[in-house]
Amino acid sequence: MADTQQKPRIEDDPRVLEVYGNKLVSTSFDGGAVVVTIGAARFLPERIDDVPQQGHQPVIHVTARLALSPAAAVELGNALNNILRAMTTRAGTPGAPSQKPS
């Protein structure tokens, strides 16, 4: 008799908040959870009618913190590696837009 485990069903709640980030602020591991802090870089002018000046450092605002169990962090790492591998493969395909992982 084969021991078959059923995969859990995913329930997507449309009320879940989606957060944008374009900067990795930090990662840490405290022995129990992997914590990833994400931020968004913003170039804000001093006044409403000013144009943001070139050369100024952007302000990075923390937008999200994700705390994962070690097992979930491994799953995330594996999934991200698969995405990076696909991006690299696609970037090497003639006619595909060049995308380099940062």
User: What is the per-residue pLDDT for 50?
Assistant: 77
Mean pLDDT of the chain: 86
Q: For residue 55, with 0-12 CB atoms within 10 Å meaning exposed, 13-18 middle and 19 or more buried, which class applies?
A: exposed
The reported pTM is 0.68
65-102 tens-digit pLDDT = 999 999 999 999 999 999 999 999 887 766 555 555 44
Which residues have C-beta within 8 Å of that of residue 88, sequence separation ≥ 6? 101
Where is pLDDT greater, at 91 or 18? Answer: 18
Query: What pLDDT, on the 0 to 100 scale, is given for residue 58?
Result: 80
Length of the chain: 102
Q: What is the pLDDT of residue 35?
A: 98
What b/e readout covers 3-39, taking b as 16+ CB neighbours within 10 angstroms?
eeeeeeeeeeeeeeeeeebeeebeeeeeeeebebbbb
Segment holding 25, helix H or strand E: strand 23-29
Work out the average pLDDT over 8-21: 92
Q: Can you give the residue ranges of every domain in the chain? A: 19-68, 70-102
Interior angle at CA 63, CA 21 and CA 79, nearest 5: 45
pLDDT of residue 6: 87
Span of 42-56, 57-71, 76-90 with lowest mean pLDDT: 42-56
The predicted pLDDT at position 42 comes to 84
| Rg of the chain, C-alpha, whole Å | 20
